Amino acid sequence: MNLLPIALLLGLLATLPQDPDQSAHTERLLQTLQATGLHFEKSASGLSYKLRFAHEHDRQQLVLVATEANRPAGLVVHTVYTTVWAGEAPPDDALLVKVFTNTRKLGSFYLFEDGKSWAIRFGASFDTTGLADGTLAPEVAAKRLKETIEFVNAVGEEVDAELNGTRDAR
């Protein structure tokens, strides 16, 4: 059974409607990220913030926080994600089955392709809906964002090490 079409469909379903008030949401995200105390930098494309985590055996996990918010059903949601596998060709069916049957309480795996390479990513959503109207305290949002980033890092490193052994998917 070829699972590639199913994985691609799942990735497409994860795409959410975009927000007309993007710059205000991006600024609130930046302020929240700064409040976490974590070291980060803006990606070269400007589409995300990058956080690097060091792990045993000289392994690193790169976690990204998308600057652009999605607006499903009036919510304001940013994606926090990491790569667990990368290659020039699409992953085979056995790898897709291994990863996509590996469920997590929060977050999900998805297939990503940019025209040059393929990746399997793990991502979770960070909801900033209440920051604009003050119903979500900035310190609560910072704590939640930090926990989300740390969770994505932990899952990413665990699955990356399982799939790639000592070779790091950086």
Measured CA to CA, the distance from residue 31 to residue 108 in angstroms comes to 26
**pLDDT attached to residue 3:** 55
Stretch 118-128: mean pLDDT, rounded? 94
Tokens 């790169």 — which residue? 62
Which CATH number do you get for residue 45? 3.30.1460
Stretch 134-162: mean pLDDT, rounded? 94
Measured CA to CA, the distance from residue 26 to residue 102 in angstroms comes to 32
CA-to-CA dists, residue 87 to 90, 92, 134, angstroms: 7, 11, 43
Provide the number of structural domains found in the chain.
1
* In-domain check, residue 168: no
Stretch 116-123: mean pLDDT, rounded? 95
* In-domain check, residue 52: yes
User: For the chain, how are helix, strand and coil distributed in percent, rounded to 5?
Assistant: 40, 30, 35
Range of the structural domain that residue 11 is part of = 4-87+98-163
133, with CB counted inside 10 A (0-12, 13-18, 19+), is exposed
Report the percentage of the chain scoring pLDDT > 90.
58
Q: Cα 138 to chain center, whole Å?
A: 21
**Res. 12 pLDDT band, cuts 50 70 90:** very low
* In-domain check, residue 45: yes
One-letter amino acid of 29 = L
* In-domain check, residue 169: no
Assess whether pLDDT exceeds 60 at residue 18: no
* In-domain check, residue 92: no
pLDDT in tens, 67-92: 998 888 888 899 999 999 999 999 99
* In-domain check, residue 146: yes
Assess whether pLDDT exceeds 70 at residue 6: no
Stretch 124-143: mean pLDDT, rounded? 90
**pLDDT attached to residue 4:** 55
pTM summary value: 0.84
* In-domain check, residue 40: yes
CB 49 within 8 A of CB 41: yes
* In-domain check, residue 93: no
Measured CA to CA, the distance from residue 123 to residue 2 in angstroms comes to 23
Considering only residues 58 and 21, tell me which one the structure prediction assigns the higher pLDDT. Answer: 58
**Res. 1 pLDDT band, cuts 50 70 90:** low
**Tokens (6 digits) for 81:** 């994600």
